[in-house]
Amino acid sequence: MPESSLKYKPTKWIMTILKTIFITGTAGSGKSLLTSKLYDYYTQNSAFAAVLNLDPGVENLPYTCDVDVRDYVDIVSVMKKYDLGPNGALVMANDLIASKIDDIRSEVERVNPDYLLVDTPGQIELFAYRSSGRFIVENITSEEKTSIFLFDGSLITTPINFVSLALLATSIKLRLNLPTINVITKTDVIGEKLQDILKWSSNIRALENSIAQEADGETYTLTTNILRGLNLSGFAQGLIPISNVTGEGLVNLEGALSRILNLGEEVED
């Protein structure tokens, strides 16, 4: 039995119903570190939080897993058994995880937290674009589910990069079919660029002007057409800037989660 399943919720909690937060984003955007910060936040506020790690390939995590897919699928064994390279093995591992969903769900139910934080794999396409990812999202029994999509602040160096990341965020939202909070991470290392990014995210005219300064011809036409399409669905609206390192902005993210998961009520015991 995995050690994590030894953590049980005290009896007084048994009747409360789970709320699940999927933490998604591009590789290295800060998903695992944010998971640990949210875990600390809920725990410090007397809520019972637990973490489900869905990344079969990760070696070190900045938190202790309560439920861990690595207990079900060993990536090195998958590589050897099926004679696969690392990417092929991750694809196979993700499908194997989906086939273990009943066991994973039972383990979550045994832990029985108020908040389940789900740290997703670095390879976002594995989680969001293969049917197994959506299957996992649909098969975790939970009263409320939401997704956080992390824009990696250090990747948004130009307005075109910003639009292409917003396109990815929208595509992931479409695949997972979950209410999504958009977050920009690593604000501690991007300096004044943050002001530009926040302006772009709230003012499509300003963004189009910045795109015009960077690109012309086909690139300009493609980028602005994508942008106008995304704007119809309110892309990147309310983008929340955070730093997982300094903690800046986390309080705003916690408030946004509360509005979705608790209808605006603060976390309470």
Ligand X SMILES: Nc1nc2c(ncn2[C@@H]2O[C@H](COP(=O)(O)OP(=O)(O)OP(=O)(O)O)[C@@H](O)[C@H]2O)c(=O)[nH]1
Selected from 185, 201, 210, 223, the binder of ligand X by CB under 6 A is 185
DSSP state of 267: P
Selected from 28, 95, 158, 204, the binder of ligand X by CB under 6 A is 28
Nearer to Mg ion, 32 or 146 (CB): 32
Instruction: Confirm or reject binding of residue 185 to Mg ion (CB under 5 A).
Output: no
Closest separation between CB of residue 85 and ligand X, Å? 18
Binding part of the chain for ligand X, among 30-38, 40-48, 85-93, 226-234 by CB under 6 A, reads 30-38
Instruction: Confirm or reject binding of residue 122 to ligand X (CB under 6 A).
Output: yes
Give, as ranges, the residues between 29 and 88 that touch Mg ion (CB under 5 A): 31-32
Which of Mg ion, ligand X, none binds 71 (CB below 5-8 Å, type-dependent)?
none
Instruction: Confirm or reject binding of residue 168 to ligand X (CB under 6 A).
Output: no
Instruction: Confirm or reject binding of residue 31 to ligand X (CB under 6 A).
Output: yes
Q: CB count, 10 Å around CB of 105? A: 17
Total binding residues toward ligand X, as defined by CB under 6 A: 17
Nearer to Mg ion, 25 or 241 (CB): 25
CA 121/CA 165 separation, integer angstroms? 17
Nearer to ligand X, 34 or 211 (CB): 34
Amino acid at 62: P
CB 240 within 8 A of CB 255: no
Instruction: Confirm or reject binding of residue 241 to ligand X (CB under 6 A).
Output: no
Cα–chain center distance at 132: 16
CA 93/CA 76 separation, integer angstroms? 10
Q: CA of 59: how far to CAs of 5, 197, 222, 250, in Å? A: 20, 33, 39, 26
CA 222/CA 224 separation, integer angstroms? 6
CB 19 within 8 A of CB 142: yes
CB 128 within 8 A of CB 24: yes
Instruction: Confirm or reject binding of residue 78 to ligand X (CB under 6 A).
Output: no
Residues of the shown chain interacting with ligand X in the complex, contacts defined by CB under 6 A:
25, 27-33, 55, 122, 185-186, 188-189, 243-245
